[in-house]
Amino acid sequence: MRTHSAEQIEPKLDGKTVVIGGWIQTMRLQKNLNFIVLRDGTGTVQLIAKAGEVSDTVLGTIKQLGREWVVLVEGKVRANKQAPRGVEVVPESIEVLSKAEAVMPLDPKVPANLDTRLNWRFLDLRQPRTKAIFKIQSVIVQAFREFCIGAGAFELQPPVIIGSASEGGAALFAIPYFDREAFLAQSPQLYKQMGAISLEKVFCVMPVFRAEPHDTPVHLNEIRQMDMEIAFVDDEGGLDYLERCFAHIIKAVKEKCPEELALLERKIEVPKLPIRRVTYSEAVELLKKAGEIIEWGDDFTKGQEKKLVELVGEEVFFIKEWPTDVRAFYSMPFEDNPKICRAYDMVYNGLEISSGAQRIHIPELLVKQLEKKDLDPANFEFYINCFKYGAPPHAGWSLGLERLTMQVVGASNIRECTMWPRDRTRITP
């Protein structure tokens, strides 16, 4: 239907007939001179219709148009230094493909509160700032896949319906499954480990679900995870892959989204490798010296994660060597000090965006750790058994797509970085 997109209309096409299509963003109609800004998925282009220069049919059609109507325009390109981007299109015919109601629940040009924007998300996606956020998010996912494929990893498609908790605990959405109960996956953890001990390097991008009654700016009940699992590495090997992947993602966003970053008034820097490592115990001591109330074995609050950026003096850093009791049962303890395990988190701009660990690949140790967490090993029999047939040491991690997007674009609420968020109160649209 179209020969060109808006971004392809350039002064060098002067005199060429083109067919473009999109939404009418703005109109300025005068008696003898009419200006229309047409928007498509690539950008905008100005239409100019002057009495005596275009047909009466075109002028008549223009008088009937409304904002956000979808039209197909055939016209001639004209170079004009005074026009936006130095070019405009003089319409020779205008076909209306779809009309929009005159009163809109959300005006793409007028700021609105977040709830209204989410209620009418399809209209909100037409706002330049919202579109910029999701363009950046799309590049993040693409860059993650590029890194993993470049590292020789297989992409897995783990199940979303599972028969037992991936990470233990009660934060599971139970669903009826024929004659028994099943759950929505908290994590692809068990499956990516099974992939790694046979395929060596695996990754996946998938939704996960947490039935936790949070009501905060950084939590949702459905999120997207970007996971990687690598065989024949320890915890430091896993960190090496994570920091290189993170740097690759930031570099891709900086190179591919300069206009979007400028619109959002964001400046991001590709981190220098290696990224700073801080042990959990060191982080606790730093917070204590700064007057924070925390004891060894406590998790960090979101406020304390932000405080650590100042105390560590880095925009991004790792916290490693966590207390075994506060991490998932599959985190590998240190042989000489089982109270500490080979687990790690990444903090970026004051928020945890990634978590990982070297995993336990020894069946007897897995059973012991499950029992310590008051979990029944019988519910994980299929998982435990897979380590009885030649399982190498392995490590991995998960990057939260929405949280990473949030920190890159500078959003204050994770819902801004989720097209259709799911939380305690929102399950539509």
Q: Is 97 helix (H, G, I), strand (E, B) or coil?
A: strand
Eight-class DSSP state of 100? -
pLDDT at 110: 82
326 neighbors 332 (Cβ within 8 angstroms):
no
DSSP secondary structure, 30-98, as one string: -SSEEEEEEEETTEEEEEEEEBTTB-HHHHHHHHH--TT-EEEEEEEEEE-TTSGGGEEEEEEEEEEEE
* Residue whose structure tokens are 């570099």: 251
Q: Which two tokens stand for residue 131?
A: 């579109």
DSSP secondary structure, 281-332, as one string: HHHHHHHHHTT----TTPPPPHHHHHHHHHHHT-SEEEEEEEEGGGS-TTBP
Eight-class DSSP state of 109? T
pLDDT at 11: 98
Averaged pLDDT, groups of 10, the chain, 429 residues long: 97 98 96 95 97 96 96 98 96 98 87 95 95 98 98 97 72 93 93 97 97 93 98 98 98 98 98 98 98 96 95 98 96 97 98 98 97 91 95 98 98 98 96
DSSP secondary structure, 326-394, as one string: GS-TTBPBPSS-TTEEEEEEEEETTEEEEEEEEBP--HHHHHHHHHHTT--GGGGHHHHHGGGS----E
In what side-by-side order are the strands of the sheet with 340-348? 154-155, 201-209, 222-231, 394-400, 351-358, 340-348, 316-323, 277-279
Query: For residue 397, with 0-12 CB atoms within 10 Å meaning exposed, 13-18 middle and 19 or more buried, which class applies?
Result: buried
In what side-by-side order are the strands of the sheet with 161-162? 161-162, 180-184, 174-177
Predicted TM-score of the model (pTM): 0.95
Residue 242 amino acid letter: L
The span from the CA of 426 to the CA of 178, in Å, is 27
Domains delineated in the chain: 6-98 (2.40.50.140), 121-417 (3.30.930.10)
Eight-class DSSP state of 315? S
Select from 143, 321, 141, 110 the least CA-distant residue to 236: 321
Q: Which two tokens stand for residue 227?
A: 């996971």
The span from the CA of 148 to the CA of 246, in Å, is 11
Q: Which two tokens stand for residue 252?
A: 């891709």
Beta strands at 316-323 and 277-279: parallel, antiparallel or unpaired: parallel
Query: For residue 2, with 0-12 CB atoms within 10 Å meaning exposed, 13-18 middle and 19 or more buried, which class applies?
Result: middle
pLDDT at 169: 61
The span from the CA of 330 to the CA of 352, in Å, is 20
Q: Is 314 helix (H, G, I), strand (E, B) or coil?
A: coil
The span from the CA of 173 to the CA of 296, in Å, is 31
The span from the CA of 229 to the CA of 156, in Å, is 10
In angstroms, the Cα distances linking 348 to 128, 308, 319 are 25, 10, 11
Eight-class DSSP state of 92? E
* Model confidence pLDDT, tens digit, residues 134-161: 999 999 999 999 999 999 999 999 999 9
How many beta carbons lie within 10 A of that of residue 266, not counting itself?
A: 17
